[in-house]
Amino acid sequence: MAKPAPITIPTEPIGSIPRPVELIERVTRGDSEDPNLAPLYEDAVRDTIERFEATGSPVVTDGEQRKYHNFCTYCVYGLPNTAPDGFIIPFSDGHTRRLSRLTRGPFRYRRYADCFLDVAMRYAHVPVKQAVISPSALSLMYSERIPGYSREQFIEDLLNEHETEIRRCLKKGAHKVQVDFTESRLAVKIDPSGNLLNSFIDLNNLALSRFSPEERGRIGVHTCPGNDLDSTHSADVDYAELLPSLFELKAKNFYVALAGERDRRHALAIIRKCLKPDHRIFVGVTAPADPRIETPEEVRDGVLEAAEYIPLEQLGTTDDCGFSPFSDDTSTSRDTAFAKIQARVIGTKLAETVLGGQL
Ligand SMILES: [Zn+2]
pTM for this prediction: 0.97
pLDDT at 359: 53
Cα(327) to centroid(ligand 1), Å = 14
Name, in order, each residue with C-beta under 8 angstroms of 222's C-beta and a sequence gap of 6 or more. 14, 131, 178, 179, 180, 181, 182, 254, 255, 321
Cα(261) to centroid(ligand 1), Å = 13
Cα(282) to centroid(ligand 1), Å = 13
pLDDT at 270: 98
Phi, psi of 354 (to 5 degrees): -65, -45
pLDDT at 69: 86
CA distance 152 to 163: 17
Phi, psi of 196 (to 5 degrees): -65, -45
pLDDT at 6: 81
Cα(304) to centroid(ligand 1), Å = 23
Mean pLDDT of the chain: 96
Cα(183) to centroid(ligand 1), Å = 9
Cα(14) to centroid(ligand 1), Å = 7
pLDDT at 3: 61
pLDDT in tens, the chain (359 residues): 556 668 999 999 999 999 999 999 988 888 888 888 999 999 999 999 999 999 999 999 999 999 988 999 999 999 999 999 999 999 999 999 999 999 999 999 999 999 999 999 999 999 999 999 999 999 999 999 999 999 999 999 999 999 999 999 999 999 999 999 999 999 999 999 999 999 999 999 999 999 999 999 999 999 999 999 999 999 999 999 999 999 999 999 999 999 999 999 999 999 999 999 999 999 999 999 999 999 999 999 999 999 999 999 999 999 999 999 999 999 999 999 999 999 999 999 999 999 998 65
Cα(255) to centroid(ligand 1), Å = 9
Which tens digit of pLDDT belongs to each residue from 323-353? 999 999 999 999 999 999 999 999 999 999 9
Cα(6) to centroid(ligand 1), Å = 31
